[in-house]
Amino acid sequence: MTNENQYILDDSIGQGTFSHTQKALISGSQQPVIIKTLAQTLRDRPEQEQFKQHFRNLARRLVRCKHPHLAKVVELFEEEGSPYIVYEFIPGTSLADRVEMEGSIPEAQALTFIRQVAAAVNALHEAGLHHLAIKPQNIIQRRDKEEVILVEFGLTCELNPNIKQTHANLLASGYAAPEQHDPEQSCSPATDIYALAATLYCLLVGNPPPPAPLLDRIPSSEWQQHLASCAPTVKNAILQGLIVDPLQRPQSVVQWLALLTPKPTPAPNKAVSSQKTSEKTVASPPSKPKTKPPAIAYQTATVPHASPKAKTHRPNSKPKFPLGALATVCAIAASAGMGFGFSLRFNSPSESGSSLWHLKQSFPPRSQESIPLPKPE
């Protein structure tokens, strides 16, 4: 690793037991950056070469791990036998400062921030890395944006047990998992999940939960009562993430994030209900006609009293009389009558007689016999 840029050192940001962090400017571009290296206390120890090699390996893996919510690595270099890693500087405010100024952060915004940080942590885990220093102080909100960046990283779990035990009191109180306080235990993704849950607790409540060594000794009601106003899913995710036993916590960031998402209430399946109704209708025998409801009977009874305008004209179901045939018959009858009249007019005999054609009718002499009438009863 060589130094490709010249840096103008600025203020020292942090001098810890394990690392030293300093702000600087790239000469020429004046781009602000953060330079991190091993703390002097580690470089003076007999295991310094072991620590340096671990730092180099960690830095190389961080270069390959890129995520929009992780600070970008600008460069790796060595100077006088010490490795350095250069990050981009994130202008903004730490969430710790926001909590101090505002007391707490609204739940919706806090969930947005913690999901962004969790996504960055998940990218680290997929690269085989652990952050080990998640806390509001290491989460920077960009200026005028609803976006946060996770900075820094921890070294403690990669150090030997003696050094871990000596400097255990320097761990972030309330955010470090129980296994970080125990030099005989190793770290895992569940270690970062503990810190994510503790960070979310702080954003919502205004202060971190009790330190891990005391968490199971303090009545849970004393610190869990501050989560009463939170959504049930949020409270459950925090409590699941703060379980003392790392094996009982969610074992991946994806599992923990799933706890934050409320499960949708299944809506009644109308299609299935309709199908079941149809099946029931087909399977059942035909039912008898139901009695008409009273409303229909009432309407039927009132029909005779309705006004003429309201009457319903129904089409006559009887066959219509053949008017054309009737007209033809009348015409034939009229013609026959006229012919008969003309026949009488011009062919009638002049003398009297008893036939139909004589104009003057003569009848036989009337009989003088009397016809007896029936007597009335």
Predicted pLDDT at 262: 80
**CA of residue 64 relative to chain centroid, distance:** 34
Contact 20, 34 (CB under 8 A): no
Contact 113, 164 (CB under 8 A): no
Domain with CATH 3.30.200.20 in the chain: 7-88
36 is in an annotated binding site: yes
Tally the residues of the chain. Answer: 377
Fold topology of 92-260: Transferase(Phosphotransferase); domain 1 (1.10.510)
Average pLDDT over residues 126-144: 93
User: How crowded is residue 102: how many other Cβ atoms within 10 Å of its Cβ?
Assistant: 10
Q: Residue 219: is its pLDDT beyond 60?
A: yes
For the chain, the average pLDDT equals 78
Furthest CA-CA distance within the chain: 178
pLDDT tens across 52-106, in order? Answer: 888 888 888 888 899 999 999 999 999 888 899 999 999 999 999 999 999 999 9
Contact 175, 135 (CB under 8 A): yes
Domain with CATH 1.10.510.10 in the chain: 92-260
- Homologous superfamily in CATH for domain 7-88: Phosphorylase Kinase; domain 1 (3.30.200.20)
Q: Residue 260: is its pLDDT beyond 70?
A: yes
Distance CA(302)–CA(271), nearest Å, equals: 42
Q: What sign does the CA torsion over 44, 50, 54, 56 have?
A: positive
Band of the pLDDT at 51, cuts 50, 70, 90? confident
